[in-house]
Amino acid sequence: MVNARSMIMVGDKGEGEAQDFLARRGYAILKRKYRVKGGEIDIIARVKDTLVFVEVKARSSSRFGYPEEAVGGAKKRRIARAARAYLRAYPQVPQMYIRFDIIALSRAKGADANEIRHIQDVDIGEELL
């Protein structure tokens, strides 16, 4: 049985792994857990001239499918809402290219480490500006 506390722990650990993964690839982490009313972004990062809003999904098993499959329409709307709030709060940012990514972490049965998939330039179906 999975409880809410263990799901939060898996999510927090996954966000830390995703942050480390991005940092090793040259991303500057600007914010983690950016929250506004009605929206949230797990990681906001910058790489070269691109601002990247990152949704992190972690699964401790494949029983419920691939982690990235959990980023549906409602979740994308919440990400877009938070991204718009961030862009209003930091008006210098819209001069940059903006991208949405998913970091999906999953652990195969018996594996010691998570498999990390970085899905870049995800269509969230909404205009930001």
Per-residue confidence (pLDDT) for residue 7, from 0 to 100: 46
118 within 8 A of 68, measured Cβ to Cβ: no
* pLDDT bracket for residue 8 (50, 70, 90): very low
pLDDT (average), residues 15-19: 93
Per-residue confidence (pLDDT) for residue 101, from 0 to 100: 96
For residues 71 and 76, give the distance between their C-alpha atoms in angstroms, rounded to a whole number. 7
Task: Decide if pLDDT at 45 tops 50.
Answer: yes
The pTM assigned to this predicted structure is 0.84
- Token digits of residue 1: 């049985």
115 within 8 A of 62, measured Cβ to Cβ: no
Could you say which DSSP state residue 127 is in? Answer: -
Domain ranges of the chain: 4-119
Task: List Cβ neighbours of 79 (8 Å cut-off, separation of 6 or more).
Answer: 39, 40, 41, 53, 55, 100, 124
Q: Find the range with the poorest average confidence among 29-33, 85-89, 112-116.
A: 112-116
Residues of the chain above pLDDT 90, percent = 54
Per-residue confidence (pLDDT) for residue 104, from 0 to 100: 93
78 within 8 A of 42, measured Cβ to Cβ: no
For residues 55 and 14, give the distance between their C-alpha atoms in angstroms, rounded to a whole number. 11
pLDDT (average), residues 22-44: 95
From residue 101, how far is each of 3, 18, 45, 66 by CA, in Å?
27, 11, 10, 15
CATH of the domain spanning 4-119, picked from 3.40.50.620, 3.10.290.10, 3.40.1350.10, 3.90.75.20:
3.40.1350.10
- More confidently predicted of 63 and 4: 63
